[in-house]
A and B are shown apart, each in its own frame.
Chain A
Amino acid sequence: MTIVLEIQRFNPEKDKEPYFEEFDLEVEKKDRVLDALMFIYGNIDGSLNFRKSCAHGICGSDAMRINGKEKLACKTLIQDAAETDGDRVRIEPLRHLKVQKDLMVDQTPFMEKFKAVKPYFIPREKNIEREYLQSINERKEFDAATKCINCGSCYSACPVLDKNTRFLGPAALVHAARFIFDSRERGLEDRIKILDHPDGVWSCKNHFECTRVCPRSIPITKLINLTKRKIKKYREER
């Protein structure tokens, strides 16, 4: 089938502002959107810039907006974005991050917020003599939170970030949850200041847009709410 890809272009060395460029393509229904982008890049316009790496939904590099919704280009089939010949597919970069070129955005603020929640294992004891034991149920508490690949889809979709650019954002909060609900870890003790803050968990207003777009099906809003509850309990106990 034929589709028309409308891709947002922007080269800061040449353009004053972003614009849309159209490409007519012959594609198969079960091709992925990433295949279409790769075809354009390899055979039509080599200046089309986008990030990609594993091309099978694990690295999170090719998150972008496809027909207005945040998705991984390698996991979106053409048939998910277009129905019949001549259908238009709109491709735009993620929101809330500065566009570096075409579909590439500056991930620095996103990664800084990720680092700010201390996304690494802080053991309860200083000198660990043997491995930690953890039950299946204890593991279940934070299992979903381990799935985050930092693709940025949730960060782009979150309406809070439209106005409050200092909000930590959904992904950072997921990474915090991964550790604070881990029975082996020091948890909230080391992260309370950054989480229990107006720009931390309390900025989340339950829009659920993050949960809607997460390509790893992480129940993000739920994890944030569980974190809020845990913080309240922590405060009451002191």
Chain B
Amino acid sequence: MPVQPTAHYAMGGIPTDVEGQVTTGKTSYAGLYAAGECACVSVHGANRLGTNSLVDLIVFGRRAGKHIADYVKNTDSGSVPGGIEKAWEERVHNLKTEKGDMPGNYYKRMQDIMMRKIGVYREGSEMTEAVKEIKKLRREYREIRVQDSSKNFNMEVLSILELENLLDLSLHTAAAALNRQESRGAHSRNDFPERDDTKWLKHALTLIKNGKVEIDYKPVDISSWKPKPRKY
């Protein structure tokens, strides 16, 4: 069996409060919840300890579930903005009706860039390249088309839609890694090997707008636990 390094868990994620409600601190999204590995309360900071992923599920999954039940009972059902259904139908239809590229090479390039340049040990100039290359891939992704036009069990359509999400997440990750000029937890930089609490003890929030990444910050709550050097 080959033995290889692999990405095992993602720290960070969709920012929420302790009830699982999505909020950046400045903007809240009523009715939108996240829990588990995709969410960031945050309980793990820059490096999740072993078995502590259960906390995301058992504690915050439960809290979010209870809050959702309450919310749903006390809110009007609302409506979906017009045009969304049609936009998605068109999107899937376009994937099926024209000729274009197959996804294999795009997956491979994304994996190569992220593994080599946003991997375990990071460095500024490599990460700068990675951000550029991912942005390029996101543009070229538009060339992908599906070969299988069947209606049922169309794994191809599903995974091509997922690939777009993966490219978005790659850009978030790469941009955030490049931006943070220190080492902290799992983020290890050869060019900034020390932790810098004066400048960087804060959460970073990334938003993709028109192909560019906007970065905002949120303070870390250290009222219960003060950060210390790890000495064990």
Q: Which residues of A contact B (CB under 8 A)?
A: 11-14, 30, 38-39, 41-47, 49-50, 56, 75, 77, 100-101, 104
Q: Is the CB of B102 within 8 A of A47?
A: no
Complex A-B: 5 CB contacts under 8 Å: A14-B150, A41-B155, A42-B103, A42-B104, A49-B154
| Contact of B121 with A by CB under 8 A | no
Q: Is the CB of A43 within 8 A of B156?
A: no
Q: A43-B102, A47-B147, A47-B148 are in contact. Are A30 and B2 (CB under 8 A)?
A: yes
Interface of B is mostly: loop
Please tell me if the beta carbons of B103 and A46 are within 8 angstroms of each other in the complex: yes
Q: Are A13 and B150 in contact (CB under 8 A)?
A: yes
Give B119-159 as 1s and 0s: 1 = Cβ < 8 Å from A's Cβ atoms.
00000000000000000000000000011101111111000
CB within 8 A of A49: which of B1, B108, B155?
A: B155
Q: Quick check: B105 and A46 within 8 Å, CB to CB? A: no
Chain B residues within 8 Å of A, Cβ to Cβ: 1-2, 6, 102-105, 107-108, 146-148, 150-156
B104 surroundings in chain A (CB, below 8 A): 38-39, 41-43
Residues in B neighbouring A75, C-beta threshold 8 A: 1
Contacts of B108 in A (CB 8 A): 42
Q: Which of A46, A56, A104 has the most CB of B within 10 A?
A: A46
Instruction: Give every chain B residue within 8 A of A104 (Cβ-Cβ).
Output: 153, 155
Q: A42-B103, A43-B105 are in contact. Are A101 and B152 (CB under 8 A)?
A: yes
- Bound CA–CA A30/B155 (angstroms): 26
- Inter-chain contacts of A44 with B (CB < 8 A): 102
Q: Do A45 and B147 touch across chains, with their CB atoms under 8 A apart?
A: yes
Among residues of B, the one whose C-beta sits closest to the C-beta of A42 is B104
- Whether the Cβ atoms of A42 and B1 lie closer than 8 Å is no
Closest residue to A57 on the B side, CB-wise?
B1
Of A30, A43, A47, which contacts B150 at CB under 8 A? A47
Residue numbers in A under 8 Å from B151 (CB-CB): 13
Residue in A closest to B159 when the chains form the complex, CB atoms: A41
Q: Which residues of B contact A47 (CB under 8 A)?
A: 147-148, 150, 156
A50–B105 Cα distance when bound, in Å, is 19
A100 to B151, CA, bound (A): 12
Q: Once bound together, how far apart are the Cα atoms of A50 and B148, in whole Å?
A: 13
With beta carbons under 8 angstroms apart, the residue of B6, B148, B153 that contacts A46 is: B148
In the complex, A42 Cα to B6 Cα: how many Å? 21
Whether A100 lies near B103 (C-beta < 8 A) is no
Of the candidates B6, B108, B156, the one having the most CB atoms from chain A within 10 angstroms of its own CB is B156
Q: Give the residue name and chain of the B residue nearest to A55 (CB).
A: B6
A194 to B83, CA, bound (A): 51
Residues of B within 8 A of A46 (CB): 102-103, 146-148, 156
